[in-house]
Homo-oligomer: A and B are copies of this chain.
């Protein structure tokens, strides 16, 4: 039943050597673009965006067009068959039969993996709810590699909402795989990095410190990764206004930073980076967005050329009597999916959304 294609659902499904290959190819594509013109002639990419994301979609589309391929898809489910009640499975099954690669974004966690189970071509996760967004992480890695020369030996500051940002979690996990990286986690007490991420940093032998002042942290950083702090995460509008100044980057704070520190941001920004920072040569967030196009060119090419090893989508056990507890998990809305769990030292992890259940808890369900 399961198709075998080199899907990209989660970076963790692939060894670090595969990440490095994708990044290296991206660097070559950026340097020698003319060689890759037409590399995907006659191939078709379907961009199925159940949730709008102009930047991600344009980035994938320009990547495919620069390789010579064509694009079909939708960005507005309200004007698509989805509105007629068609299931994700049926829509993606058909779209995948029209195309050579599917890029999918959906607001339900695990939905892209579920779609990949029955797709007729490789599927790339362009964001599944608050869960994963692997091509953003690849973009960040490429930017660091190209601009700092290496993915190791870096002191990287993360600032903003570190509790809810999937981008931050993924990049922390990814950078923990490389040597001698240190992390400075800059946030309010309420918006700290979750424990399971910090455990992973430690498990890979890396160090982190937690601070609550951007101003104090900035002088030691090689990289400052800013993220949006959503107004609604704060107790009150007054609290937001107060904290904003502490966690927003401006020209004045930049003065204390190293001459070769770089500032990144996954975008869109609202007001956590003042406009006057844009003209600072260390402000690389727009360039970072541009690297996103090159890393997606590399990914598309690697997948279509089958340079990426196909990985099984589900490796755990189907336990019909246990249900994932996460109400945002795709298994909650598509009952025909297997209840597939990895058993991780007595903790069951849902293979769609990575939600963890203690096996002891399961007995009482």
Contact = CB atoms under 8 A, between A and B. Distances in A.
Contacts of A290: 94, 97-98, 120
Contacts of A319: none
Contacts of A37: 41-42
Interface residues of A, number: 58
Interface stretch (A15-23, A72-80, A246-254): A72-80
Interface stretch (A57-65, A128-136, A144-152): A57-65
A301 to B, nearest CB: 15
Contacts of A44: 62, 65-66
A70 interface: yes
A279 B90 contact: no
Contacts of A86: 267-269
A85 interface: yes
B79 A55 contact: no
A358 interface: no
A52 interface: yes
Interface in A83-139: 83-86, 89-91, 93-95, 97-99, 118, 120
A14 interface: no
Number of copies: 3
A209 interface: no
Contacts of A42: 37-38, 66, 68
Given A1-B279, A65-B72, A55 B268 contact: no
A289 B92 CA distance: 12
Contact of A54 (B55, B91, B267, B279): B91
A146 to B, nearest CB: 14
B81 A54 contact: yes
A175 interface: no
A82 interface: yes
Given A1-B279, A44-B66, A275-B336, A94 B286 contact: yes
A282 to B, nearest CB: 15
A270 interface: yes
A320 to B, nearest CB: 14
A90 B265 CA distance: 12
Interface string A160-178: 0000000000000000000
A353 interface: no
Interface in A173-204: none
B97 A74 contact: no
Contact of A286 (B76, B97, B287): B97
A252 B110 CA distance: 30
In the A-B complex, the 7 residue pairs with the smallest Cβ-Cβ separation, listed nearest first, are: A65-B70, A54-B80, A62-B98, A86-B268, A52-B79, A97-B290, A54-B81
24 contacts: A1-B279, A52-B79, A52-B81, A52-B83, A53-B81, A54-B80, A54-B81, A54-B91, A55-B94, A58-B95, A58-B98, A59-B98, A74-B75, A75-B76, A75-B79, A76-B79, A86-B269, A90-B269, A94-B267, A94-B290, A97-B286, A98-B290, A118-B278, A120-B290
